[in-house]
Amino acid sequence: MDAHAHAAHGHGELEIPFNVHPRPDTGLYNAKLGIWLFLASEVMLFGALFSSLILLRTGVENWPHGWKLLNVPLATLNTFVLISSSVTVVLAWASLRLGDLRKGKIYLALTLLCALIFMVVKAFEYGSKFSHHIHPSTDNFYAIYFTMTGLHGLHVLGGMVVFAYFLGPGAKMWQTEPARFTNRIEVCGLYWHFVDLVWIFLFPTLYLL
Amino acid sequence: MAPKRQLRVGTQWLYVDEAEKLLREAIRIQEEEEKKRHGGHPQSWIRRYVFSTDHKWIGLQYGFTALLFLLFGFSLMLLMRLQLAWPNKAFGILKVLGETAAPGGVMLPETYNQLGAMHGTIMVFLAIVPLAVGAFGNYVVPLQIGAPDMAFPKLNMASYWCYLPGGLLMLGSFFAPGGAANSGWTSYPPLSVIATQGQTWWLLGMVFLITSSLLGSVNFIVTIIQLRAKGMTFMRFPFFVWAQLVTSFLLLLAFPPLEAAAILQLMDRVAGTSFFMPSGLVVSGNVLANAGGGNPLLWQHLFWFLAHPEVYVLILPAMGIVAEVLANNTRKPLWGYRSMVGAAVFLGFMSFVVWAHHMFLTGMGTVISAFFQTTTMIISIPSVIILTAMFMSLWGGSIRFNTPMLFALAFLPMFGIGGLTGLPLGLAASDIHLHDTYYVIGHFHYVVAPGTIFALFAGIYYWFPKVTGRMLNEFWGKVHFWLSLIFINGVFAPMFYQGLAGISRRLYDGGAQYAHANPAFKSNVLMTVSAWCLLAAQVPFIVNFFWNVFMAVLGKRNAGPNPWQATTLDWAATTSPPLAHGNFDVMPVVYRGPYEYSLPGHEFDYLPQHVEVPEAPPPGGGMLPEAVAVARREA
- Assign B8 to helix, strand or coil: strand
Q: Is the torsion defined by CA of A8, A12, A16, A18 positive or negative?
A: negative
**Which among B57, B226, B252 is the top mutation candidate for probing chain A, defined by the most A β-carbons within 10 Å of its own β-carbon?**
B226
What pLDDT band is residue B29 in, cutting at 50, 70 and 90? confident
Give the pLDDT score at A9. 41
**Which among A147, A148, A151, A184 is the top mutation candidate for probing chain B, defined by the most B β-carbons within 10 Å of its own β-carbon?**
A147
Give the pLDDT score at A14. 80
The answer to whether B230 contacts A144, with C-beta atoms less than 8 Å apart, is no
Give per-residue burial for B397-434: e unless 16+ CB within 10 Å, then b.
beeeebbbbbbbbbbbebbbbbbebbeebbbbeebeeb
Residue B328 and residue B564 in contact, taking contact as beta carbons nearer than 8 Å: yes
- This prediction has a pTM of 0.91
Which residues of chain A lie closer than 8 angstroms to B252, CB-CB? 37, 40-41
Q: Taking residues A5-19, what's their average pLDDT?
A: 63
φ/ψ bin of B589: left (φ > 0), alpha (ψ from -120 to 50), beta (otherwise): beta
What pLDDT band is residue B618 in, cutting at 50, 70 and 90? low
Q: Per-residue pLDDT for B237 more than 60?
A: yes
The answer to whether B267 contacts A8, with C-beta atoms less than 8 Å apart, is no
CA angle B175, B176, B180 (to 5 degrees): 80
What pLDDT band is residue B490 in, cutting at 50, 70 and 90? very high
Task: Point out which residues pair with B198 in neighbouring strands.
Answer: B180
What pLDDT band is residue A5 in, cutting at 50, 70 and 90? very low
Using CB atoms, pick whichever of A12, A14, A48 lies closest to residue B257. Answer: A48
- Each residue's pLDDT tens digit, B516-527: 778 888 899 999
Give the pLDDT score at B37. 60
A137 touches chain B (CB under 8 A): yes
Tell me the one-letter amino acid at A26: T
How many whole angstroms separate alpha carbon B120 and alpha carbon A103? 55
How many whole angstroms separate alpha carbon B450 and alpha carbon B454? 5
- Each residue's pLDDT tens digit, B136-193: 999 999 999 999 999 999 999 999 999 999 999 999 999 999 999 999 999 999 999 9
Residue of A nearest to B220 (CA): A34
Q: Per-residue pLDDT for B474 more than 70?
A: yes
How many whole angstroms separate alpha carbon B459 and alpha carbon B25? 28
The answer to whether B275 contacts A37, with C-beta atoms less than 8 Å apart, is no
Give the pLDDT score at B41. 57
Residue A81 and residue A114 in contact, taking contact as beta carbons nearer than 8 Å: yes
- For B198-201, which contacts have Cβ atoms below 8 Å and span 24 or more sequence positions? B198/B114, B198/B173, B198/B174, B199/B269, B200/B266, B200/B269, B200/B270, B201/B169, B201/B170, B201/B172, B201/B173, B201/B176
Q: Which stretch of A82-86, B50-54, B450-454 has the lowest confidence by average pLDDT?
A: B50-54
Q: Determine the distance from the C-alpha atom of residue B599 to the mean position of all C-alpha atoms in its chain, rounded to a whole number.
A: 32
- DSSP assignment letter at B597: B
- Each residue's pLDDT tens digit, B78-95: 999 999 999 999 999 999
How many whole angstroms separate alpha carbon A88 and alpha carbon A96? 12
Task: Point out which residues pair with B437 in neighbouring strands.
Answer: B504
Residue numbers of A between 41 and 100 with CB closer than 8 Å to B: 41-42, 44-49, 52, 55-56, 59-60
Q: What percent of chain B has pLDDT above 70?
A: 94
- B536 class by beta-carbon count within 10 Å (0-12 exposed, 13-18 middle, 19+ buried): exposed
How many whole angstroms separate alpha carbon A179 and alpha carbon B550? 46
How many whole angstroms separate alpha carbon A150 and alpha carbon A126? 10
The answer to whether B152 contacts A44, with C-beta atoms less than 8 Å apart, is no
Q: Per-residue pLDDT for A206 more than 50?
A: yes
How many whole angstroms separate alpha carbon A126 and alpha carbon B475? 68
The Cβ of residue B271 has, within 10 Å, a number of other Cβ atoms equal to: 14
The answer to whether A42 contacts B256, with C-beta atoms less than 8 Å apart, is yes
Residue B577 and residue B466 in contact, taking contact as beta carbons nearer than 8 Å: yes
The CA distance from B66 to the nearest CA of chain A, in Å, is 25
A141 touches chain B (CB under 8 A): no
Using CB atoms, pick whichever of B263, B581, B587 lies closest to residue A14. Answer: B581
Which residues of chain B lie closer than 8 angstroms to A37, CB-CB? 217-218, 221-222, 252
ipTM: 0.93
- DSSP assignment letter at B216: H
What pLDDT band is residue B201 in, cutting at 50, 70 and 90? very high
A140 touches chain B (CB under 8 A): yes
Give per-residue burial for B195-217: e unless 16+ CB within 10 Å, then b.
bbebbbbbbbbbbbbbbbbbbbb
The CA distance from A6 to the nearest CA of chain B, in Å, is 9
Q: Which stretch of A158-167, B118-127, B608-617 has the lowest confidence by average pLDDT?
A: B608-617
- Each residue's pLDDT tens digit, B245-274: 999 999 999 999 999 999 999 999 999 999
Close Cβ partners of B407 (under 8 Å, ≥ 6 residues apart) = B325, B454, B455, B457, B458, B461, B481
Residue of A nearest to B276 (CA): A56
Q: Per-residue pLDDT for A3 more than 60?
A: no
What pLDDT band is residue B617 in, cutting at 50, 70 and 90? low
Q: Is the torsion defined by CA of A51, A55, A61, A63 positive or negative?
A: negative
How many whole angstroms separate alpha carbon B232 and alpha carbon B222? 15
The CA distance from B351 to the nearest CA of chain A, in Å, is 15
How many whole angstroms separate alpha carbon B510 and alpha carbon B522? 10
Which residues of chain B lie closer than 8 angstroms to A60, CB-CB? 293
Mean pLDDT of chain B: 91
Using CB atoms, pick whichever of B53, B227, B264 lies closest to residue A52. Answer: B264
The answer to whether A44 contacts B257, with C-beta atoms less than 8 Å apart, is yes
How many whole angstroms separate alpha carbon B415 and alpha carbon B420? 8
Largest CA distance in chain B: 92
**Which among A52, A63, A191, A194 is the top mutation candidate for probing chain B, defined by the most B β-carbons within 10 Å of its own β-carbon?**
A52
- Each residue's pLDDT tens digit, A170-195: 999 999 999 999 999 999 999 999 99
Q: Per-residue pLDDT for B494 more than 60?
A: yes
- Assign B151 to helix, strand or coil: coil
- Assign A151 to helix, strand or coil: helix
Close Cβ partners of B274 (under 8 Å, ≥ 6 residues apart) = A137, A139, A140, A143, B268, B290, B291, B292, B293, B294
Question: Which element (helix H / strand E) includes B15?
Answer: strand B12-15
A190 touches chain B (CB under 8 A): no
Q: Per-residue pLDDT for A10 more than 60?
A: no
How many whole angstroms separate alpha carbon B509 and alpha carbon B441? 16
How many whole angstroms separate alpha carbon B304 and alpha carbon B355? 5
First to last CA, chain A: 58
Which residues of chain A lie closer than 8 angstroms to B53, CB-CB? 14
Residue numbers of A between 22 and 41 with CB closer than 8 Å to B: 23, 26, 28-31, 33-34, 37-38, 40-41
- Each residue's pLDDT tens digit, B545-587: 999 999 999 988 899 899 999 999 999 888 888 988 889 988 8
Q: How far lies B585's CA from each of B37, B136, B236, B381, in Å?
A: 11, 22, 22, 43
- Each residue's pLDDT tens digit, B316-356: 999 999 999 999 999 999 999 999 999 999 999 999 999 99
Give the pLDDT score at B115. 96
What stretches of B515-582 adopt beta strand conformation (E)? none
- Assign B228 to helix, strand or coil: coil
